[in-house]
Structure 1
Amino acid sequence: MMDPTSSTMNIDQQQSRPGGRSPGWWYPWIFVAFFFVTVAVNATMVYFAMNTWTGLETQHYWQRGTTYNAAIQGARRQQERGWQVGIDFQAAALQGRLTVDLKDRQGNLLNGATVTARVVRPTSEGHDFTVDLAYQGQGRYGAEFAMPLAGQWDIRIVADHPQGDYQEVRRVVVKG
């Protein structure tokens, strides 16, 4: 008969490696690593969500929603008036020049209007401003102003005149 200790190995010796660890000892660490990666990715996403906000939001959404029909009717009246409006925007080295020419349907000059331009940065907040356009004669209104940043801007022109009002939005790109 053979000595059981010399010729056969017990089960613990068969499953152990030279370093003394059993096969599969690292399986629980897979779960630990998975949860570590998940927490790290979530923490990164929370950081970027909290620190890279662009400021885009809908302000006064309730008022805009309830006045939607009035806005459609105002646009219809504006189209029926048939004003001839020429808008010219030029920018160089962060300096903008805006001119607006106003004429009625028959081509008569529209003097005596109050014309303003709301200049809005659509990609971030804190840079918007309003410009009053001065009457320059011959139905032309204009202003020169500094642009705070290069990039995309929306210019909302509003002209109030005794015969009616006019609104239009133009998207422009300002190069620095």
Structure 2
Amino acid sequence: MTQHSRNSQHAPRPFTGRHMAMIMIAFFGVVIAVNVLMARFAVSTFGGVVVENSYVASQHFNRWLDEARVEGALGWKAVLSRTADGRVIAELRDSAGKPLSGAKVTATAEHPLGRRPETELAFRESAPGTYAATLEPGRWRLRLAVTAEGHEWRTVGEVQ
């Protein structure tokens, strides 16, 4: 072996405490970053709905499905929005796209994360097919109930 080839080979570097510290910092840095990301996704998305008694709810499930089919057959649509002065606007249309006028419209406003108590809203018709109610600022999930033309119809929407 020549002198040149002997010098080109380096002795292996010893594994030190500094190397172990860097590995540990990198590992826990990745774990913490993933946890922070997942927690942010969990808090920023819808929190879900829980029934008080799942057994009782299961007994009503088929009836709820039948009611949903009847309501879906009506073809009614609701568009929810918020005005600058804090009012919630519900624009209701029938299956032909015409304004649904003369309806009784109520809603239960729920905070998605349950941070505020539920608020009951009673809408008033401000124009044909357009109903308004006052609701405090924030992100809200509205369970809208509409009674018109001898039918009941329910829908769920969100406003911010």
Scaled by the length of structure 1, the TM-score of the pair is 0.53
8 Å contact 1:101–1:141 — kept in the other structure?
yes
Aligned to 1:104: 94
Q: Aligned equivalents of 1:59 and 1:122: distance in 2?
A: 17
Q: C-alpha distance in 2, partners of 1:63/1:122?
A: 23
Matched, 1:135 2:125: yes
Amino acid at match of 1:71: W
Q: Is the 8 A contact 2:99 2:128 kept in 1?
A: yes
Deviation at 1:57, TM superposition (A): 5.0
Aligned to 1:156: 143
| Aligned counterpart, 1:165 | 152
Q: Is the contact made by 1:117 and 1:156 (CA closer than 8 Å) also made in structure 2?
A: yes
1:67 match: secondary structure: helix
Q: Is the 8 A contact 1:89 1:96 kept in 2?
A: no
Residue 76 (1) aligns with residue 69 (2): yes
Amino acid at match of 1:100: A
Residue 121 of structure 1: how far off its partner (Å): 1.6
Identity level (%): 22
List aligned pairs for 1:53-68, cutoff 5 A.
57-68=50-61
Partner of 2:123, secondary structure, is strand
Structural RMSD (CA): 2.6
Cα distance change of structure 1 residues 122 and 145 upon mapping to structure 2, 3 Å threshold: closer
- Secondary structure of the 1:146 match is coil
Residue matched to 2:80: 88
Show structure 2 runs of 5+ residues with no match: 1-48
Return closer, same or farther for 1:100/1:126 CA change in 2, 3 Å cut-off. Answer: closer
Q: Residues 108, 171 of structure 1: CA spacing in aligned structure 2 closer, same or farther, 3 A cutoff?
A: closer
- Counterpart amino acid of 1:74? E
Q: Which amino acid aligns with 2:91?
A: D
**Paired residues, number:** 113
Structure 1 stretches (4+) deviating beyond 4 angstroms? none
Which structure would you say has the larger Rg?
Answer: 1
CA 1:91–1:142: 2 relative to 1, 3 Å = closer
TM-superposed CA distance for 1:88, in Å, is 2.4
Taking structure 1 as reference, are residues 96 and 155 closer, same or farther at Cα in structure 2, changes over 3 Å only?
farther
Unaligned runs of 5+ in 1: 1-55
Distance 1:137 1:171 in 2: 22
Instruction: Give, in angstroms, the shift of residue 69 of structure 1.
Output: 1.0
